Amino acid sequence: MLKILIKDEIDPLVVEELKKRKFLVQEGQNGKEVFFKQVQQNEILIVRSATRVTKELIDSALETGLLKVIIRAGVGVDNIDVSYARSRGIEVFNTPEASSESVAELALAYIFALARKLVSASLTMRQGEWNKKKFLGMELAGKTLGIIGMGRIGQILAKKASALGMRIIYCDIRTLEQIDSDWRSLPFSEVLKQSDFISLHASSEGNNGYLIDEPQFRMMKKNAFLINTARGRLVNEDALLDALNNNVIAGAGIDVYCQEPCNNIALLQHDRIFATPHIGASTGEAQYKIGQEILQLVEEYQKKKIAGGRYGIH
């Protein structure tokens, strides 16, 4: 019987479906020693972003040799030592397509909220204040959205923003084909200089240092807004605070952090930061689609069909 360990919370319907298919499903326990022993006893480990799959954990699993597959229920695999796992014969998979719409919509929500100062306006209303003249916003039509990383999520966001009349410029390390001809590819520095809104959709893998640090903030317009729904380690949080406190940029929308849960109070309580607790994939639709991808991966493993090509990290 196939034994599966689920460490982080996933859609209960997925767990129920796995059990219906006669898989032995175990819930991961807290505590390093207990959890490591559980990993040693299962063939498949399913995690989200909270659990770190380190070299130490992988070495522990190798003591029994049972662990064959690690599935990340989501897109990013920053919390998994992928290269080491694969070097020891353990495959790593993610669910790359499931949450794209949800993350793109959250980035778009940040754009609306920042453009119209919705958070501050709502908070003052709760305090009994009526500051109608204080919250002068901007229209999005005609504004420039710069997208760093034009993968699935970036392209979905670009389509939605284009429908609002926004100009789209982007930077990607790859040469992209079949991309909308109205979207203009520019060097990274030019995207930073020209954009009214900058949305990050890049991976932090292979980056030495931060993608956005003090020099990059200095390139941006003083009325620009930065949005990060991708990876916390893309942005130097101290440099972001300095940029806001010194009016180098206008504001930011942040869903991911260098350390999670985030305890950077200065960041979370800044009046020009719209912060959320890593909720990019937190929609019913995204979690359902993640669950379907997990079920497919488990079934394909069971049938001995997992091989290179379309499998693995996308």
**Active site residues per annotation:** 231, 260, 278
* Residues 73 and 83 both lie in one domain: yes
* Residues 89 and 215 both lie in one domain: no
User: Which residue from 216, 215, 223 is spatially nearest to 200, judged by alpha carbons?
Assistant: 216
Segments forming the whole domain that contains residue 91 = 3-98+284-302
pTM given for the model: 0.86
Q: Looking at residue 178, what is its pLDDT?
A: 82
Q: Note the pLDDT tens digit of each residue in 137-167.
A: 999 999 999 999 999 999 999 999 999 999 9
Cβ-contact 244, 218 below 8 angstroms: no
User: Which residue from 214, 216, 182, 181 is spatially nearest to 198, judged by alpha carbons?
Assistant: 216
User: Which residue from 4, 28, 10, 80 is spatially nearest to 289, judged by alpha carbons?
Assistant: 10
* Residues 292 and 252 both lie in one domain: no
Q: Note the pLDDT tens digit of each residue in 42-68.
A: 999 999 988 999 999 999 999 999 999
Domain at 88, CATH number: 3.40.50.720
Q: How many domains does the chain have?
A: 2
27 by Cβ neighbours in 10 Å (0-12 / 13-18 / 19+) ranks as exposed
